[in-house]
Amino acid sequence: MGELILYLGGAKSGKTRAALKEAESRPAPRYYLATAQGLDDEMRGRISRHQEERGPDWRTVEASLDPAGALAGIPEDKPVLLDCITLWFSNLMWSRPLEGQDAAWYMDHVGKLITASAERSGALIVVSNELGSGIVPMEPESRLYRDMVGLAHQTLGAHAFAVYLVVAGIPVKIK
pTM, rounded to two decimals: 0.94
In this prediction, residue 2 carries a pLDDT of: 82
Query: Mean per-residue pLDDT for 28-39?
Result: 90
Please answer whether residues 85 and 19 qualify as being in contact, where contact means their C-beta atoms are separated by less than 8 angstroms. no
In this prediction, residue 7 carries a pLDDT of: 98
Cα–Cα distance measured from residue 5 to residue 45, given in angstroms and rounded to the nearest whole number: 28
Query: Higher pLDDT residue, 98 or 128?
Result: 128
In this prediction, residue 81 carries a pLDDT of: 97
Residues classed as catalytic: 50
Residue 101, CA distances (Å) to 4, 88, 107 in order: 26, 14, 10
In this prediction, residue 162 carries a pLDDT of: 98
In this prediction, residue 135 carries a pLDDT of: 87
134-152: b or e for each residue (b if 16 or more CB lie within 10 Å)?
Answer: eeeeeeeeeebbbbbbeeb
Structural domain spans, the chain:
4-173
pLDDT at residue 125 is higher than 80: yes
Q: What is the mean pLDDT of the chain?
A: 93
Superfamily of domain 4-173: P-loop containing nucleotide triphosphate hydrolases (3.40.50.300)
Among 103, 56, 54, which Cα is nearest to 83's?
54
Query: Higher pLDDT residue, 52 or 133?
Result: 133
Question: How large a percentage of the chain has pLDDT more than 70?
Answer: 99
